[in-house]
Amino acid sequence: LFCAGAFAAFETMPDHVMFGCCLVVFFCLLRGCDGNCPAMCLCVSDTVCCSSTGLVKLPMFLPTFSMTLDLSHNYISYLSAGSFEKMPRLENLRLASNQLTSLGEGVFQNASGLRILDLSSNRLHVVEQHYFHGLWRLEELLLYNNKITQVESSTLTGLSSLKKLYVSLNQLTDFPFFTIQDHSHPFLTMLDLSSNRLSSLPWADIKALPSLVQRGLYLHNNSLVCDCTMYSMFWHWQLRGYDTLKDFTDDHRCTIYGERRATITFLRHTRFFQNCTLEKAVSQPVTVYLSTVTVTEEETIHLDCHTSLKSMDLSFTWKTPGKGYLTPASINDTLITIFPNGTLEMQSVRVNDSGMYVCTALDVKLGVNATREVNVTVSLPPPESFNTGYTTLLGCAITMILILMYLYLTPCRCSCCKQPKPPSKTIPTYDRSSFSSAFTASIREQPQVYSDKHVAFLEPMMSQQGLHKINHIDFLLQYIVRRNNTLGAL
């Protein structure tokens, strides 16, 4: 009956949701109803869904066993202390698109199991330091699209499991970067501060951020002030090929002398920074392209030194397994060349030339380098192909000997055995060019013998059209069949 009622009530819901709902209600009845599903919500196994239900405050009773609570797209403007303390298994709390302007003390007390907390698209102003106190398991914190002007400096303290923090689309003018360190937030890989009002940032603090955080730091669409310190930071990130810059190249803008009208997309128009002294690079290697080349002995290899460095003025050094370091100036081997573009050419490579070839491209002006590694494997030519060639050659030689023997050593040398001459018209129709050059050569040496010998075997073949198409093997076979007596003697 209850299920029927539920079906009637949620006629528009998908079947499986209703089925799940009924199951939950059924189990709930069996277990003595330790959590009530609020009338306007949908409760499915461990999930309570109250989104878009017009709630203005948290429902009085919520199922205590739920792990996911979705309250998004409502009108909740206030959460009291301990709102979620009766939900010890709560991991995923969705409060997006509500009317929250602030959070009181202890809202999330006894909810330390939270892993995902979505407070996006609310009206929060200041993220106070007590907001997320005790949420040491929190992995994702979504605060984008609020009206946040300030994140208090110890807000992130204690959020030691944090992986992703989204504070995009707010009105921040600064951010406490210094509170993020390797040991305090070891798993943080995403810090989205894009589309705020950041202008001058503490670049020294940002430079000290763990490299995982730097790799996932989004700062585009802010009103940064163009200066060398700022550019230097982005230049290094660009050199390291971070996606944060690649994906939003045109959204990285800065204002010259803070003048709002003079805005440049600084990753594209670098002319403004031409007088900046960019600090010597980065402790870690810039980019390593790894590739493999497989060739057989005696071939020529071309290994290109294409790296992340785009300058036209690079110097190249190749480290080779057999010949040590090679530069264009140091080579005295005629088989090896390094082209101006860094490409290494090695002619007739040997098996012992195999190994790892490492090219270092050095931008002398900027003092950065990048490497490219190529794993070269030189193998011996496959033995079968050699054998096949050899066998064919041997076969040809034997055939030649047989034919020469036939031509010169036939027992029938006396004039009495000569066969009568054929009608003269058959000779011109014979196409000599169909024979291999070897045959032709031997035949031409003895034109007399040739015409004499062939009369006997050519004559019957004249009846066939397209004699010239017969290849030399057929020719030989015909020959053998015709003169098998003689061959038998041979």
Residues that bind ligand NAG (CB under 6 A): 85, 110, 195, 221, 251, 272, 274-275, 281, 292, 304, 306, 317, 322, 332-333, 339, 341, 343, 350, 352, 356, 360, 362, 369, 375, 377
The sign of the CA dihedral 314, 320, 323, 325 is: positive
Pairwise CA distance, residues 37 & 22, whole Å: 11
**Of residues 83 and 97, the one with the C-beta less far from ligand NAG:** 83
Rounded to a whole number of angstroms, the minimum distance from the CB of residue 168 to ligand NAG is 8
Pairwise CA distance, residues 227 & 273, whole Å: 8
How many CB atoms sit inside 10 A of residue 55's CB? 18
- The answer to whether the CB of 82 falls within 8 A of the CB of 106 is yes
**Of residues 372 and 453, the one with the C-beta less far from ligand NAG:** 372
Rounded to a whole number of angstroms, the minimum distance from the CB of residue 171 to ligand NAG is 8
**Of residues 20 and 82, the one with the C-beta less far from ligand NAG:** 82
Rounded to a whole number of angstroms, the minimum distance from the CB of residue 320 to ligand NAG is 9
Pairwise CA distance, residues 343 & 149, whole Å: 53
**Of residues 144 and 177, the one with the C-beta less far from ligand NAG:** 144
Rounded to a whole number of angstroms, the minimum distance from the CB of residue 135 to ligand NAG is 13
Rounded to a whole number of angstroms, the minimum distance from the CB of residue 308 to ligand NAG is 13
From the centroid of its chain, how far is CA 353? 29
**Of residues 20 and 258, the one with the C-beta less far from ligand NAG:** 258
Rounded to a whole number of angstroms, the minimum distance from the CB of residue 18 to ligand NAG is 32
Rounded to a whole number of angstroms, the minimum distance from the CB of residue 339 to ligand NAG is 4
Rounded to a whole number of angstroms, the minimum distance from the CB of residue 109 to ligand NAG is 6
**Of residues 162 and 281, the one with the C-beta less far from ligand NAG:** 281
Pairwise CA distance, residues 307 & 81, whole Å: 56
**Of residues 175 and 479, the one with the C-beta less far from ligand NAG:** 175
User: What DSSP string runs through 104-133?
Assistant: -TTTTTT-TT--EEE--SS---EE-TTTTT
**Of residues 74 and 222, the one with the C-beta less far from ligand NAG:** 222
User: What DSSP string runs through 277-309?
Assistant: -PPPP-SS---EEEEEEEEETT--EEE----S-
How many CB atoms sit inside 10 A of residue 305's CB? 25
Eight-class DSSP state of 17 = H
Token pair recorded at residue 441: 């050569």
**Of residues 339 and 408, the one with the C-beta less far from ligand NAG:** 339
Token pair recorded at residue 406: 């036939």
**Of residues 332 and 463, the one with the C-beta less far from ligand NAG:** 332
Rounded to a whole number of angstroms, the minimum distance from the CB of residue 143 to ligand NAG is 15
The sign of the CA dihedral 151, 226, 168, 114 is: negative
**Of residues 7 and 272, the one with the C-beta less far from ligand NAG:** 272
**Of residues 110 and 179, the one with the C-beta less far from ligand NAG:** 110
Rounded to a whole number of angstroms, the minimum distance from the CB of residue 268 to ligand NAG is 15
Pairwise CA distance, residues 429 & 122, whole Å: 99
- The answer to whether the CB of 221 falls within 8 A of the CB of 254 is no
Rounded to a whole number of angstroms, the minimum distance from the CB of residue 337 to ligand NAG is 8
The Cα-based distances of 9 to 4, 38, 63, 285 in angstroms read 9, 14, 20, 63
**Residue with smallest beta-carbon separation from ligand NAG:** 322
The Cα-based distances of 68 to 30, 89, 90, 91 in angstroms read 22, 9, 6, 6
The single residue listed with the structure tokens 């030189």 is 378
Rounded to a whole number of angstroms, the minimum distance from the CB of residue 302 to ligand NAG is 7
Of the CA atoms within 13 Å of residue 465, those in its CB half-sphere come to 0
Buried b (16+ CB within 10 A) or exposed e, 40-53: ebbbbebbbbbbeb
